[in-house]
Amino acid sequence: MILSAVRSREFLLEQIRYALGFYHPRALDRSGGFFQHFNEDGSIADPRARHLASSARFVCNYAVAARWFKDVHYREAAEHGLRFIEQAHRDPRNSTYAWEINWQDGSREVVNATTYCYGLALTLQAYAQALQAGIKEAAKPLRDVFKLMNEHFWDAAAGLYADDADANWKVSPYRGQNANLHACEALLAAYEATSDYAYLERAQELAYNITVGRASLANGLIWEHYHADWTPDWNYNRDRQGLAQRPWGYQPGHHVQWARLLLILERHRNLPWLALRAEALFDEAVNNAWDEEFGGLQAAFAPDKTICDQDKYYWVQAEAIASAALIAMRKGKEEYWIWYERIWKYCQQYFLNAQQGTWHRVLSRDNKHYTASSLSALKTDFHLIHACNEVINRLNQE
């Protein structure tokens, strides 16, 4: 691979096509939705388990592909996924969205009825990206999901969203930045799909209150967990390190993801702090988590900046690729292109599963993949596809 080639639109489009090629059409369940857990050889590991996050992310993936490749089959797959979210995840009695269900041949069993703001944010993004792909029927449910988020999760005093609620919409005391990150990403997509400033205003509010407001309580970094009053909870899940959901420690992946979102926001709002914070967050991530011996960004570091989770996750590397490119184009600094190419080279060498066309989900510090989980556990290649998508969007403006 010639490194300069990774900067090209053609290379990035090919990565989207290649990644989606693993899932299409094998992920399509004709009775509804998408199969979401796969073995290393591409066979289906669990045909029943459906998570709202993955259901929504498949829609996003297919909508992006439909937009770039103009393939009716991708558009139909996105529409198929949207119907499943409304028919299987959503409870029409109270408009909650079940986080996890079992589904088989049209039969639905709720496994976890919790409604997560994170899940609603991904659902909002699915409708927004479907609308960008020309699926006009997504417009009304897009507005409806935004209304739900504001009615049940919005904390006006903090200017942020709460995290989760039970089947009766009783909100828990836990607060987290992750729901707000994904809400910000979804709202930016919603604004770009509709030009409705309500989405952009809320995205800007979330971005400032997390990356500046809450970060001021954590040495300029982004802590994950908070008490109900939005003061940092430094011990939440500290004794359960390595969790995929609500992990302890600073997450470099979320720092670079926020960097990407700040620069997308800057496309629409000319505010000097956005680019400054984006560059600072990216620098903190690579300075504290890049593995000089084995390459790649490690999963988490503690408040004293020692590594507390050495594993390498595909989504972290993908988000770093996107943010490095966006900063390079925005700031005109070659050092960020160097990071972009370095991370691409690392991922092509270690994360790419060349036999199947997808990326391993997680590697050990020395870049060995965990065979049993390398493709399963909410794995859709969403972050890879959307990293490429955002770089293409920015390249098209050059």
Closest CA to 179 of 130, 246, 234: 246
Cβ neighbors of 137 (< 8 A, separation 6 or more) are 79, 82
So what's the pLDDT on residue 356? Answer: 79
First to last CA, the chain: 24
Residue 364 and residue 369: Cα distance in Å, rounded? 6
Active-site annotation holder among 37, 152, 225, 383 = 383
So what's the pLDDT on residue 379? Answer: 77
Share the mean pLDDT of the chain. 94
Instruction: Extract the tokens encoding 68.
Output: 């770039």
Q: Give the chain's count of helices (H) and strands (E).
A: 12, 19
Specify whether the backbone of 91 is left (phi greater than 0), alpha (psi in -120 to 50) or beta. Answer: beta
* 3-class state of residue 213 by DSSP: helix
CATH number, domain of 191, equals 1.50.10.10
Per the document, the length of the chain is 398
pLDDT band at 375 (very low <50, low <70, confident <90, very high): very low
Instruction: Extract the tokens encoding 111.
Output: 């496994």
Residue 139 and residue 167: Cα distance in Å, rounded? 26
Catalytic: 383?
A: yes
Angle at 226 between CA 225 and CA 228, to 5 degrees: 145
> Does 126 have pLDDT greater than 90?
yes
Count of alpha carbons within 13 Å of 325, Cβ hemisphere only? 26
pLDDT band at 4 (very low <50, low <70, confident <90, very high): confident
Closest CA to 361 of 383, 333, 389: 383
Q: What is the pLDDT of residues 276-329, one digit of tens each?
A: 999 999 999 999 999 999 999 999 999 999 999 999 999 999 999 999 999 999
* 3-class state of residue 121 by DSSP: helix
Q: Within 10 A of 219 (CB to CB), how many other CB atoms are there?
A: 11
So what's the pLDDT on residue 274? Answer: 98
Q: How many structural domains are present in the chain?
A: 1
Helices 117-132 and 139-152: crossing angle in degrees, nearest 10, is 160
Cis peptide before 252 (omega within 30 of 0): no
- The region of weakest confidence among 106-115, 235-244, 279-288, 342-351 is 235-244
Instruction: Extract the tokens encoding 7.
Output: 């900067």
> Does 372 have pLDDT greater than 90?
no
Closest CA to 232 of 242, 250, 218: 218
* 3-class state of residue 313 by DSSP: strand
What percent of the chain clears pLDDT 70, i.e. is strictly above it? 96
Catalytic: 225?
A: no
Q: What is the pLDDT of residues 241-278, one digit of tens each?
A: 666 789 999 999 999 999 999 999 999 999 999 999 99
Closest CA to 120 of 83, 161, 78: 161
Specify whether the backbone of 362 is left (phi greater than 0), alpha (psi in -120 to 50) or beta. Answer: beta
Closest CA to 56 of 81, 30, 86: 81
So what's the pLDDT on residue 111? Answer: 96
Helix-strand-coil split of the chain, %, nearest 5: 55, 15, 30
Domain that holds residue 106: 3-395
> Which segments of the chain are extended strands (E)?
37-38, 44-46, 49-51, 90-91, 96-97, 100-104, 107-112, 115-116, 154-155, 160-161, 164-165, 175-176, 225-226, 300-301, 307-309, 312-313, 352-353, 358-359, 362-363
What percent of the chain clears pLDDT 90, i.e. is strictly above it? 88
Active-site annotation holder among 51, 80, 225, 254 = 254
> Does 374 have pLDDT greater than 50?
no
